[in-house]
């Protein structure tokens, strides 16, 4: 790989003349010839203007092209793996080997984890902010998954079966329902007609693991709903939105869905966790949600944790492959956590991602 001097092969388009810069395709020369040319030209990997800075510009442009679906994540990560191959050429030179390591780390930061598989190559702990440096389109994908709950009648409809007048008066008093509010799920227009929470939330409160309010489990009875109503500032629209987010069809389903569905690479779906060619899908238990508050925002969180002895399987499309422990995939532990914030904005409830963390420790 050779960096050209001023006036050599660098017109910025066909790389045939102009200022110093990297060629569009690098020529690999024999060791003797390469060493002679680099010595004669005074080129060195230690000079950032010749190696680090052009490579940063190159991979930054590659990420932009990936974002426009002009190339795939495989193309970009293949280029990065090619750069990593240079390590072996500096095995006996500690100074230059340290330099190439720092260059590779700088390039990796530019990639923002286009393909998560690139993160698990080296041992250690990785915190991935989904929708930020990893899968830039993931933020929209997470919100879309939640919004698709509009097709879930249990998430859309208010629970009404067997709700008594006395129950409603215990929770809401004798006041008339508040004005209609637009929900974040499917732009549903909601106005209280019954107990104030969705059908799915009621099922979770009685049949499944329930929901926690600031760490303490609450049930879908008059006492539990009264606590939730007071916690959201007696805002009926906000309480219904919280019930949609806190049930199994809302935030608790996100870890399972995201790992199952993965991200996007161009127009193609790609696994969230891909190790050694295996799409890794851990087993899930029943999830739960915790409702807290930050300023005027109501936060709904859910998380899953796994250890190396927990079971996962490799999957190709919808076909389940070999069942292994996470340790057999090289994973010591893993955590995935999502927090969604809800806040009233006029006649609607706005939803945003407050946190989307995937933490993986590899051995």
- For residue 82, what are the contacts with CB-CB under 8 A and spacing of at least 6? none
Residue 267 is predicted with a pLDDT of 63
Residue by residue, DSSP assigns 232-249 as TTS-HHHHHHHHHHHSTT
Tell me the sheet residues that pair with 300.
291, 340
* pLDDT tens for the 363 residues of the chain, in order: 444 544 454 444 444 444 444 443 344 445 545 555 555 555 678 888 888 888 988 888 887 777 666 777 667 877 888 888 888 888 888 898 899 999 988 887 777 545 444 445 456 777 777 765 555 567 777 888 888 776 788 888 999 999 999 999 999 998 899 999 999 887 889 999 999 999 999 988 776 667 899 999 998 999 999 999 999 999 999 999 999 999 888 898 888 888 887 776 656 667 788 776 677 888 877 678 999 999 999 999 999 999 999 998 877 655 566 788 888 888 899 999 999 999 999 999 999 999 988 888 887
CB count in 10 Å sphere of residue 104: 17
CA pair distance 263, 133, nearest whole angstrom:
13
The two structure tokens encoding residue 173? 């008093």
Q: What is the pLDDT of residue 26?
A: 42
pLDDT on residue 22: 46
Which residues have a Cβ under 8 Å from the Cβ of 284 and sit 6 or more positions away? 255, 256, 304
Backbone torsions φ then ψ of 298, nearest 5 degrees: -100, 125
Task: Give the number of residues written for the chain.
Answer: 363
DSSP lists the bridge partners of residue 301 as 290, 339
Choose among 230, 229, 204: nearest CA to 217: 204
d(CA 340, CA 238): 13
Q: What's this model's pTM, rounded to 2 decimal places? A: 0.67
**Cβ-based neighbours of 247, under 8 Å, separated by 6 or more:** 154, 155, 198, 200, 201, 203, 204, 211, 289
- Own/partner pairs, 229-234, CB within 8 angstroms, 24+ separation: 229/171, 229/172, 229/196, 231/291, 231/293, 231/298, 232/298
Give me the residue spans of the domains in the chain: 138-362
Token output for 187: 């732009």
Task: Return d(Cα 280, Cα 65) in angstroms, integer.
Answer: 28
């Amino acid at each position: 790989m050779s960096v050209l001097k001023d006036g050599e092969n660098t017109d910025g388009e066909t790389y045939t003349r102009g200022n110093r810069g990297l060629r569009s395709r690098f020529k690999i020369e024999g060791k003797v010839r390469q060493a002679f040319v680099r010595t004669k030209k005074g080129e060195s990997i230690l000079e950032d203007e010749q190696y680090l800075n052009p490579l940063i510009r190159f991979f930054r442009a590659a990420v932009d092209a990936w974002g426009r679906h002009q190339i795939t994540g495989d193309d970009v990560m293949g280029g990065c793996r090619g750069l990593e191959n240079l390590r072996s050429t500096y095995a006996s030179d500690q100074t230059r080997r340290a330099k190439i390591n720092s260059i590779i780390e700088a390039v990796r930061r530019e990639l923002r984890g286009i393909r998560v598989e690139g993160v698990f190559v080296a041992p250690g702990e990785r915190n991935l902010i989904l929708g930020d440096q990893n899968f830039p389109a993931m933020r929209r994908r997470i919100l879309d998954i939640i919004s698709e709950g509009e097709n879930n009648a249990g998430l859309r409809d208010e629970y009404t079966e067997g709700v008594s007048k006395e129950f409603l008066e215990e929770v809401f008093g004798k006041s008339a329902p508040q004005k209609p509010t637009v929900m974040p799920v499917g732009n549903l227009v909601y106005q209280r007609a019954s107990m104030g929470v969705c059908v799915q939330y009621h099922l979770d409160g009685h049949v499944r693991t329930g929901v926690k309010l600031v760490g303490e489990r609450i049930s879908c009875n008059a006492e539990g709903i009264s606590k939730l109503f007071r916690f959201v500032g007696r805002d009926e629209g906000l309480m219904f939105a919280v019930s949609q987010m806190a049930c199994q069809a809302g935030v608790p389903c996100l870890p399972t869905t995201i790992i199952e569905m993965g991200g996007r690479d161009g127009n193609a779906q790609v696994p969230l966790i891909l190790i050694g060619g295996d799409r890794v899908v851990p087993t899930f238990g029943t999830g739960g949600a915790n409702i807290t508050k930050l300023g005027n925002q109501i936060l709904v969180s859910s998380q899953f944790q796994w250890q190396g002895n927990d079971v996962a399987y490799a999957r190709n499309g919808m076909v389940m492959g070999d069942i292994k422990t996470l340790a057999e995939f090289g994973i010591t532990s893993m955590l995935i956590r999502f927090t969604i914030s809800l806040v009233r904005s006029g006649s609607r409830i706005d939803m945003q991602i407050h946190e989307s963390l995937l933490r993986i420790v590899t051995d």
